Amino acid sequence: MSSYVLSAARLAGRGGIIDDGYVVVEGGRVAATGQGRPPALDLPVVDLGQVMLAAGYIDVHVHGGGGYEVNCATRDEVETSVRRMAEFHATHGTTALVATTVSDSPEALRTAVEGVAAVALSPDGPGTGARVLGSHLEGPWISRSRAGAQYPGALRPPSVEELTDLLALSRGTVRIVTLAPELDGATELIRAATAAGVVVSIGHTDADSDEAGAAFRAGASHATHLFNAMAPIHHRRPGPVAAALGDSRVYLEIIADGIHIHPTLISLVATVAPDRLVLVTDAIGATGTSPGLHRLGPLEVLVEDGRAVLAEHHETVAGSVLTMDRAVALAVHVAGVPLEVALRAASLHPATQLGETTRGHLAEGADADIVLLDDELAVVGTLVGGRVVHDPAGLLHAVSSLSRPRSAPAAGTVPAQATGTVPAQATGSVLAQATGSVLAPAGGSVAGNGDDSLPGEPGGRPLAPL
């Protein structure tokens, strides 16, 4: 595997963001990082100019993308679909993901976890896309009253027997389970899942604060799309949101698309719990495709103006068409989240929650999963395990050439194509997409696979422009 040095205007490392940073990549891992002139090594140095190097994004809640989704009819279809969605999301800076199902029949979920496992455990690794770390079961053990865009006919009580079956079929690759902790049998399932090393998340739940707190004491340590598909905070009935915010053991998913929750609440979570914020997309298969009718598991979805809703119930938002680069951009530029916090929320925090100790940061020994960002936080390059998987402007051409079957270039500086420039088509495009959907129609309900209300002021009035 190729070895080289990346040099850039800025580097987001474990100690913060520094100017004039470099990363030494050897054998698909980070061998060293530093500031200033790279050390005199017998390796080619690729000068990337005015970009920032950061740890690749990790999305722990993603249903699909690029026209593909996790819930499919056969194992082979799941495997192909998951590979294609991983390739799509890599173009937006995602270097690892947890393929997320929606509530479906027992047989459909069996098929899904088998297909995801085939990709996650493949000896070929991630191929040309993001790494697939396993599966996230969002349902079927969730509340009917908070189902949102989950198929009601597939919901059922928590079953340790069904969980055990899915764990076996997944060959240990089920990573997260979302459930409603107030349901009968939920506590037993939480204990069984955590004993098997699975992260348990509360979501699509009508639990009160006491029930949520009991779930956290039983082992749950995650909240699925906080604020969405759960009771809101009330000064006399604090609910699961307050319980999750107040428990330092719990990681907090946020869908930063300007539709699911108001940017002020994104800022609030980043202020109250900066080390527990986890940015996710909740992206569906329609992400990156044309507007119109699409599928989300068993349900039909309509995508218009960057908003996905149930085709038969337009007031219910059905996942998102968000990508991780846009989530980071909106968190920073619209919600005012500090850049370092937003980057960690998209990389280090999800990696830590999953126990992925070699991912989510750029330091010696870490996987060389790297995203290249311009000044507007648009993705101009993605590397997975040191291999180029996205390079729209040719900035990483010199790195790609190292893996070709020819003699390696001599040690020294290898100027990257378009060094010191940002591709015109990328500049500003991420923020424009991210902020274009901040306003939402007045009235109705947002579901994020199950929200309670659209972002807006009391009485259903839309938000003022930000």
Catalytic residue numbers read 282
Please provide the distance, in angstroms rounded to a whole number, between the alpha carbons at the two ends of the chain: 47
Q: Are 232 and 456 in contact (CB under 8 A)?
A: no
> Residue 122, Cβ neighbours under 10 Å: how many?
13
Residues 156, 272: Cα–Cα separation, whole Å: 35
- What residues have CB less than 8 Å from 406, skipping those under 6 apart? none
Distance CA 41, CA 410 (A): 11
Distance CA 442, CA 463 (A): 9
Cα distances (Å, whole numbers) of residue 187 to 143, 157, 214: 15, 12, 9
Strand partners of residue 464: none
- HEC profile for the chain? CCCEEEEEEEEEECCEEEEEEEEEEECCEEEEEEECCCCCCCCEEEECCCCEEEECEEEEEECEECCEECCCCCHHHHHHHHHHHHHHHHCCCEEEEEEEECCCCHHHHHHHHHHHHHHHCCCCCCCCCCEEEEEEEECCCCCHHHCCCCCHHHCCCCCHHHHHHHHHHCCCCEEEEEECCCCCCHHHHHHHHHHCCCEEEECCECCCHHHHHHHHHHCCCEECCCCCCECCCCCCCCHHHHHHHCCCCCEEEEECCCCCCCHHHHHHHHHHCCCCEEEECCECCCCCCCCEEEEECCEEEEEECCEEEECCEEEEECCECCCHHHHHHHHHHCCCCCHHHHHHHCCHHHHHHHCCCCCCCCCCCCECCEEEECCCCCEEEEEECCEEEECCCCCCHHHHHHCCCCCCCCCEEEECCCCCCCCCCCCCHHHHHHHCCCCCCCCCCCCCCCCCCCCCCCCCCCCCCC
